[in-house]
Amino acid sequence: MRVYVNGENKELGDGLSLLDLLNLLNLPIQRIAVELNRSVVRQAEWEVTQLKDDDRVEIVHFVGGGSVGRIGKEMSVESY
Amino acid sequence: MSTALTLKETDDVFEIGDLTFTSRLIIGTGKYRSHAQMKQAHEASGAEMVTVAVRRIPLDRSSESFLDYLDPNLKILPNTAGCYSVDDAVRTARLAREALKTDLLKLEVIGDQTTLFPDNEQTLEAARILVKEGFVVFPYFNDDLIMAKKLLDAGCVAIMPLAAPIGSGLGVQNPANLRIMREQLPDATIIVDAGVGTASDAAIAMELGADAVLMNTAIAEAQDAAKMAEAMKLAIQAGRLAYLSGRMPKRLYASASSPLGGVIK
């Protein structure tokens, strides 16, 4: 079956659960969150949630930072 | 090490919902040159809460958890940085809550990539949805009193007006607005977020009546981040103390400080 993970096309065998997918991808299972077709799936349910063809999975973690824009033009101190 | 002789830590705690902080500085985690530098700056700042962002985990390599580089005593406030729509912000919030088991959320719905100004309309819509789902929402918005009232009515626990654009370092650009907001919303928790550049900016925000200041770039992009972090800590304490002291009024002309009579001629 074909499943999209973080926007990437993955060809997988049938009968996989979300937990199987995480293990297959060698991903940590702590402090991440998983969304299946735009709905959050709680950790307790990863093992029992079966993937189907064309499912879209998002797996996220935390990083440093906030919103980042294009690099701003620096102002000369005198101009303000 | 700073000691505040007249402002004991227990006298002026900063409360938001169930949380109690002694520090009125909240810091970010972006733009540091290294994890070590970030840790030093965080420690020097005395901050008790930090913001983090939510991103897709890389699939092609193993990555350590960024959270492991944070002091474990810090309260984590996940944000919806990089979200330009209600839908993205709400989805990101739900993911953050699930991963961190926290209801705290800094809500950002950005309106445009150059200025990073908030889309207030979408921010309000997302706030309403998230408050209903039990999130403790800290919305970033611009310093508009009417929007502030709407966000508070929607159930946000605090309001976070920007001082100036994110990362601009310009300091409080509209002090009148902040002061008006403080006077018109005396019971609201106001956290100035974005645009602070140096210590005096933070002090000014506190003197205008802000309850706290949130900043990232001012510290991360200082040449000596830990030093600037300490400067910010002191500035916020000073600004807060000045605010609580009830400053003298501003006058156009001098007023004598010694008696007018008895001057030799």
Extents of the domains making up chain B: 14-245
Q: Phi first, then psi: what are they for A31, rounded to 5°?
A: 50, 40
What confidence tens digit (pLDDT) does each residue in B52-91 have?
999 999 998 887 889 999 999 999 999 999 999 999 999 9
pLDDT at B16: 92
Residues of A in contact with B81 (CB under 8 A): 65-68
* pTM exceeds 0.90: yes
pLDDT at A72: 63
What confidence tens digit (pLDDT) does each residue in B227-265 have?
999 999 999 999 999 999 999 999 988 877 788 788 888
Residue ranges of chain B with per-residue pLDDT less than 70: 1-10
Nearest CA in chain A to B106: A66
pLDDT at B241: 97
pLDDT at B253: 87
Partner residue facing A70 (CB), from B82, B113, B216: B113
Which percentage of chain A shows pLDDT scores above 90? 76
Name the percent of chain A in helix, strand, coil, to the closest 5. Answer: 15, 30, 50
What distance in Å separates residue B33's CA from the closest CA in chain A? 11
- Residues of B serving a catalytic function are 106
pLDDT at A66: 87
Cβ B240 vs Cβ B13: under 8 Å: no
Name the percent of chain B in helix, strand, coil, to the closest 5. Answer: 35, 15, 45
Cβ A30 vs Cβ B65: under 8 Å: yes
What distance in Å separates residue B80's CA from the closest CA in chain A? 8
What distance in Å separates residue B211's CA from the closest CA in chain A? 21
DSSP designation for A64: S
Please give the CATH superfamily to which domain B14-245 belongs: Aldolase class I (3.20.20.70)
DSSP string for B8-55: -TTTS-EEETTEEES--EEE---S-S-HHHHHHHHHHHT-SEEEEEEE
Partner residue facing A40 (CB), from B95, B116, B170: B95
Contact: B28, A30; criterion CB under 8 Å? no
Domains and CATH numbers, chain A: 2-62 (3.10.20.30)
Contact: B56, A59; criterion CB under 8 Å? yes
pLDDT at B1: 46
